[in-house]
Amino acid sequence: MEISECADKKFTEQSIVADVGGTNCRVAVYGKWKQGYEQIFLRVYDSDHITRFYIPVNEVLKEVHERYGLSVAKGCFAIAGPISSNGRVSCLTNNTWQVDVDELYVHTLLKEIKLLNDFEAIGFGIPSLDISDDAHVVPLHHHDAAIVHPQHGGVKSVLGAGTGLGCGMLISGVGGYRPYPSEGGHTDIVSYDEQDWRFVQYLRGHILPHDQHPDYERILSGTGIAYVYEFLRSEGYGEGEEVALQIDRLHISKRPMMISTHVSNSHVCKKTMEFFARHYAHRLRHLALTTLPYGGLYIAGGIAAKNLTLFKEPSFMDTFVHTDKMSDLLLRIPVYVVTDEEVGLKGCARAVIG
């Protein structure tokens, strides 16, 4: 559990917010400050250790009341999973518990609660990012083309691999950009060569029923990295590598971190991350051609921010623009890696008090 805090200002309004993922659950309190908002307190939980969401919510509410005398009545929570049609329940796609608004009203003192899909929350947060600040985003440039600047008022889109694969878009209107969530991370994997086809067959034989086609989250996620690694090992990659033997002994949830750490000294780890990056670029291209995000195409999620070198390789953007007829169009779309891990929390704050 990690904790950080900052409460040396007078805030006019506060809200408790959370970025609820399959791996981590970040719970924070934000305050309205001048023309924006600022984080007052943050606590990070392991999602596997949570049984009822109101428990960490109440812990943070109690903490900020005891430390700062703040009584928070509003909450906005971003969930890595679809929101029910009535907006009151969300089941995490990659964990076993759910967030229920009615349960939160019963077990907390909150008077106003809003649920957002995690990528809708990121969408609310993206307009706050400074594209000139590497602490917020890192631009990915086409190595043989001019720097591309975002079009004022243009569509913005976001794709992000973490525990799962999220997707969304933002459209400009009265009052600024409005985010629209999507489950586009679950579109079917496209095979571009024989190895891709063998990978799909591997998933069908080991992970899925034979008649079910895998979606992109089976590659573009932490677990997806582990699946790609296992597939490559089955094809003979990594034979005789001590690193590979160490990874083989790890639980699947522990493998992605070690795989990405050993890209420089393990052939199978290098091939795994290259496979991952190539398909990331393909899926990013699909999103770009579908939404035409001249206002910016954002790569979010923890994996990209932690593996920037992989995305800065010329091959990534070369793959992104490589298409039958639309390469010139893709060259006009600015692409960024989001490095601000609190963009979802900021989005929740903007949605409820911004």
Q: What is the pLDDT, as a whole number, of residue 47? A: 93
* CATH homologous superfamily for the domain 2-125+342-353: ATPase, nucleotide binding domain (3.30.420.40)
* Distance separating alpha carbons of residues 131 and 337, to the nearest angstrom: 10
Letter for the amino acid at 149?
Answer: H
**Structure pTM?**
0.89
Tokens of 67: 């430390």
Residues of the chain with CATH 3.30.420.40: 2-125+342-353
Q: Check: CB of residue 220 under 8 Å from CB of residue 283.
A: yes
Q: What is the pLDDT, as a whole number, of residue 147? A: 80
Q: Give the CATH number of domain 137-338; options: 1.10.620.20, 3.30.300.20, 3.30.565.10, 3.40.367.20.
A: 3.40.367.20
Q: What is the pLDDT, as a whole number, of residue 183? A: 84
Residues of the chain with CATH 3.40.367.20: 137-338
Q: What is the pLDDT, as a whole number, of residue 322? A: 93
Q: What is the pLDDT, as a whole number, of residue 9? A: 60
Q: Check: CB of residue 300 under 8 Å from CB of residue 158.
A: yes
Tokens of 123: 């969408």
pLDDT in tens, the chain (354 residues): 554 555 556 777 899 999 998 889 999 999 987 777 889 999 999 999 999 999 999 999 999 999 999 999 999 999 988 899 898 999 888 888 999 999 999 999 999 999 998 888 999 999 999 999 999 999 998 877 678 999 999 999 999 998 889 899 999 998 889 998 788 889 999 999 999 999 999 999 899 888 899 999 999 999 999 999 999 999 999 999 999 999 999 999 899 999 999 999 999 999 999 999 999 999 999 999 999 999 999 999 889 999 999 999 999 999 999 999 999 999 999 999 999 999 999 999 999 987
Q: What is the pLDDT, as a whole number, of residue 119? A: 87
What are the angstrom distances between the C-alpha of 1 and each of 11, 24, 143? 26, 10, 41
* Distance separating alpha carbons of residues 15 and 18, to the nearest angstrom: 10
What are the angstrom distances between the C-alpha of 26 and each of 47, 159, 223, 263? 9, 20, 20, 29
